[in-house]
Structure 1
Amino acid sequence: MSTIIGISEENRKAVAFELSKLLADEFTLYAKTRNAHWNVEGNDFHAMHLFFESQYEQLDDIMDGVAERIRTLGHYAPATLKSFLQLTHLTEKTHDKNDSPSFIKELLEDHQSIIEFIRGNIEPFASKYHDYGTSDYITGLMEDHEKMAWMLRAHLS
């Protein structure tokens, strides 16, 4: 059945493609945050284990929302590791130590990268693609990432 929501197919396809990149970034950040949760070591283990858990739970909700927004636009969300690796802007790093500052710095960089990606799409989604709903939606996601980044940054002070 056709998706008739007042946005052309061409524009919905373009927005869905950018959202697919965002979903890949969210999934990659989710996996990296899970890694931090599982592998953090140090005398702050318990607190950081719980902190990383709260962050990956938020990312799980974000991923679901992004995938559902792609479906709302009438397209299929990428859902394989291969597709995520092809679409993501983020990279994996290896740590010399599995301490919380190392994980926090890397995760903070990734949140900042996602914030910049989202910020760069807010205006084009609205003006170029006439998708004010997705523009509004990702504005909220940007705010979520800004708060998560603040929480990470606060651990480094």
Structure 2
Amino acid sequence: MRKLNIGLTEKEREGVIGLLNSSLSNVYLLLIKTKKYHWDVVGPQFRTLHMLLDEQYQALSTATDSIAERVRILGGFPAGTAAEFIQLASLEEHPGVIPNATEMVAKLVDDHEIIIRSLREQIDQSSEEFHDEGTADFLTGLMEQHEEMAWMLRSFIEGESVAPDGNLPQATKKVPASAGKN
């Protein structure tokens, strides 16, 4: 491979490539989990959730490709095997477990939030430790995508939690009696 001369040392490039491969692994595992839940979801909200998970799966697929391409841009090679993804990721798999629809969404929210926290750290490292503002900017965009997906999922299950007595809790936000009156 031709030597890169893009203003980063080899050590800096290797550092950000490592961060990117970690993110790629997390996003790929989340993509797999999202697709699995897309296949397995059942219940009264099946269609809505099935479609939402498909949209998110497609976005995650695009994100994995973008991360892998960023690794190549920097002269590295992306992780690309299940063994590498599991080794480099901080997300956990739960083989053989098929949660109900609300639990699926909650687990996906948790995973997105793990990725968001990790990306915040990687953004700082990219910029401060490795002096790669391009990767910091790239990771910021990726983080914003995960923030939006997590928000969509949280919005889906908002109000779905069950009180200890098994009943749905009353809304905590009340509309004033005068709302809508002229």
* TM-score bracket for the superposition, by shorter chain length: over 0.9
Match status 1:65 vs 2:70:
no
The 5 A counterparts of 1:115-126 are 115-126=116-127
SS at match of 1:4: coil
Q: Write the deviation string for residues 79-119 of structure 1: whole angstroms up to 9, x where unpaired.
A: 11111111110001367654220110100000000000000
SS at match of 2:157: coil
Residue aligning to 2:115? 114
Q: Distance in 1 between matches of 2:3 and 2:74?
A: 10
SS at match of 2:66: helix
Residue aligning to 2:172? none
Sequence identity percentage? 36
Query: TM-score, normalised to structure 1's length?
Result: 0.96
- Mean CA deviation greater in 120-129 or 23-32: 120-129
Question: Rg bigger for which structure?
Answer: 2
Residue aligning to 2:100? 99
Higher relative contact order (Cα pairs below 8 Å, separated by 6+ residues): 1
Pair 96,18 (structure 1): closer, same or farther in 2 beyond 3 Å = closer
The 5 A counterparts of 1:7-156 are 7-93=8-94, 98-156=99-157
The number of residue pairs the alignment matches comes to: 157
Give 5+ residue unaligned stretches, structure 1.
none
Q: Distance in 2 between matches of 1:65 and 1:49?
A: 24
Q: Distance in 1 between matches of 2:23 and 2:93?
A: 16
RMSD: 1.2
Higher helix proportion: 1
Q: Distance in 2 between matches of 1:4 and 1:134?
A: 16
Give 5+ residue unaligned stretches, structure 2.
159-182
Pair 130,97 (structure 1): closer, same or farther in 2 beyond 3 Å = closer
Q: Distance in 1 between matches of 2:151 and 2:86?
A: 26
